[in-house]
Amino acid sequence: MVSDIDSKFLKIFNEKLSFALSFYFFMFTDEYFMKMAFQEAEIAFEKDEVPIGCVVVSNNRVIARAHNLTETLNDVTAHAEMQAITSAANFLGGKYLINCTLYVTLEPCVMCSGALSWSQISKVVIGARDEQRGFINKSLTLHPKTEIVTGIMENECSAIVKEFFKSKR
């Protein structure tokens, strides 16, 4: 039988546990991981690369992070997403990114949306839209199971790209 003291303790324990759990879920928001993607964009900016960054998250854990490296690698395919897809698949030991979410500061281009589609990634969270080069206006979709979210830290993600090209003029 559970004594009074025990039940009191259990009650407090449960309250504390649910508080901790709510904090846990409160912490791992889309903004939380987009901030990490944004940090990658900032690293790209410092390297004089078009500042786009991304992270891949699985079970609230970052399993890949990357930023655009097309200048450094002399490779037009070295977009942040392409590298993150490869890196995440290596980490998981499988080519499909099931139960993974990609956070990317700028809407993926046609090439990257194709790669994301092949990866069967579960969710893609986009910072700023790219009306000209992004896949959405091209009427392309990702894998049918992929959930797409847009507009997370949109202003910051858009501003850093604008600032970059302004510095180039």
Span interacting with Zn ion, options 67-75, 77-85, 87-95, 147-155, rule CB under 5 A: 77-85
In the structure encoding, which two tokens stand for residue 123, read together?
């969710």
Cβ proximity to Zn ion: between 28 and 86 the closer is: 86
Angstrom distance (rounded) from CA 64 to CA 61: 9
Least separation in angstroms between residue 136's CB and Zn ion is 13
Q: Which of 34, 41, 102, 109 binds Zn ion (CB under 5 A)?
A: 109
- Cα separation, 140 vs 157, in Å, equals 22
Name which position in 112, 121, 152, 161 contacts Zn ion (CB under 5 A): 112
Residue 128 binds to Zn ion (criterion: CB under 5 A): no
3-state secondary structure string, 143-158?
Answer: CCCCEEECCCCHHHHH
Task: Evaluate whether 90 touches 63 at the Cβ level (below 8 Å).
Answer: no
Min. distance of Cβ 133 from Zn ion in angstroms? 8
Q: Which of 65, 67, 79, 123 binds Zn ion (CB under 5 A)?
A: 79
- How far apart CA 104 and CA 85 sit, in angstroms, is 12
Q: Which of 81, 107, 131, 163 is catalytic?
A: 81
Asked if 81 is an active-site residue, the reply is yes
Residue 35: how many other CB atoms lie within 10 Å:
15
Beta strand 53-58 pairing with 100-106: antiparallel
Query: Nearest distance from residue 149's CB to Zn ion, in Å?
Result: 18
Residue 79 or 123 having the CB closest to Zn ion: 79
Residues that bind Zn ion (CB under 5 A): 79, 109, 111-112
- Residues catalogued as catalytic: 81
